[in-house]
Amino acid sequence: MQDRTYTADAEPGDDATVAGWVHEIRDLGGIAFLILRDATGKIQIKFEKDEMDDDLVETGLGVSRESVVSVSGAVEEEPRAPTGVEVVPESVDVISAADPELPLDPSGKVDADLSTRLDNRTLDLRKDEVQAVFEIRAEILRAARERFREFHCTEINTPKIVATGTEGGTELFPITYFGEEAFMNQSPQLFKQLIAGSNVERVFEIGPIFRAEEHNTPRHLNEATSIDFEGAFCDQNDAMDVAEGVVKAAYEAVAENCGDELEALGLAEDFSVPEGDFPRLSYEEAIERINATGELDEQLVWGDDLPTEGEKALGDDVGGHYFITDWPSEIKPFYIMDHGDEELSTGFDLMHPRMELVSGGQREHRHEHLIEGFEQQGLDPDQFEYYTKMFKYGMPPHAGFGLGGERLIMTILGLDNIREAVLFPRDRQRLSP
Signed CA dihedral, 322, 325, 331, 332: sign only: positive
Q: How far does the chain reach from its first CA to its final CA, in angstroms? A: 28
SS3 state at 317? helix
Q: Which DSSP letter does residue 421 get?
A: G
SS3 state at 412? helix
Quick one: which of 343, 346, 336 has its CA closest to 282? 346
Quick one: which of 253, 250, 246 has its CA closest to 231? 246
Which amino acids are annotated as binding site for Mg(2+), given as ranges? 356, 359
Which amino acids are annotated as binding site for L-aspartate, given as ranges? 167, 211, 359, 363
List, by residue number, the catalytic residues. Answer: 211, 213, 219-220, 356, 359, 407
- C-alpha to C-alpha distance for 209 and 312, rounded to whole angstroms: 26
Amino acid occupying residue 309 = E
- C-alpha to C-alpha distance for 381 and 378, rounded to whole angstroms: 9
Which amino acids are annotated as binding site, given as ranges? 167, 211-213, 219-221, 356, 359, 363, 404-407
Element (H, E) at 375: helix 367-376
- C-alpha to C-alpha distance for 336 and 129, rounded to whole angstroms: 41
Find the DSSP H helices in 258-307.
259-264, 283-293
DSSP codes of every residue in 217-271: STT--SEEEEEEEEEET--HHHHHHHHHHHHHHHHHHHHHH-HHHHHHTT-TTT-
Diameter of the chain measured on Cα atoms? 89
Which amino acids are annotated as binding site for ATP, given as ranges? 211-213, 219-221, 356, 404-407
Element (H, E) at 310: helix 308-318
- C-alpha to C-alpha distance for 365 and 377, rounded to whole angstroms: 17
Helix 128-150 × helix 236-257 angle, to 10°:
140
